[in-house]
Amino acid sequence: MTIRVLLIEDDPGHVRAFRAAFDRARREGFDVVLDSVISFGGYLRAADRGYDAYILDDMIADRCNAFEKIAPLLASQFPGAAILHNSGNADKDDILRQERRLNIKFARDAEGNAVACNKNPAIALEYIKDMLAEKGKRPRSLRPKARVSIAPPQPRRRNSIPPQ
């Protein structure tokens, strides 16, 4: 099962870091695809694809606050999708205020705290792996390696044609 994630981030360095981490996870067997957009318009063009998780920076290109413009759309269009907070300066109280003000719910960890990636792709990947494990859909990286069956060698048949 492929997990599709949309990163909404306008800083090229952060996008590269997330891409590198997700590429490494894919090479390790985690079936995940990361797409990224830098603006509200980019999100609108990608919105109809539907993703399993969204990682949002607060301020993106065009001076758009993604939490105010995109997160409410996600909450109404894709209510089951995980929305991960990716602001570099997130604190719990600020996240709770944003949730109340915008009537949205950011993704939660096992203890019930909002997941704040703080520009760290490893946090996002770990959350996505945990999310799948909770749903009973273990990501490929957590599954045992596939076993390859090799048939035992067959005895050689003797040539039935007598030598001349």
| Domain parsing of the chain, residue ranges | 3-142
Angle, nearest 10°, between helix axes 121-134 and 12-27? 50
Contact 69, 44 (CB under 8 A): no
* Per-residue pLDDT tens digits for 10-60: 999 999 999 999 999 999 888 889 999 999 999 999 988 889 899 999 889
Q: How far is CA 20 from the centre of its chain?
A: 13
d(CA 64, CA 72): 14
The CATH number of 3-142 is 3.40.50.2300
Contact 122, 21 (CB under 8 A): yes
d(CA 32, CA 23): 8
Token look-up 């990947």 returns 125
pTM of the model: 0.77
* Per-residue pLDDT tens digits for 94-146: 888 888 888 888 888 888 888 888 889 999 999 888 776 766 554 433 332 23
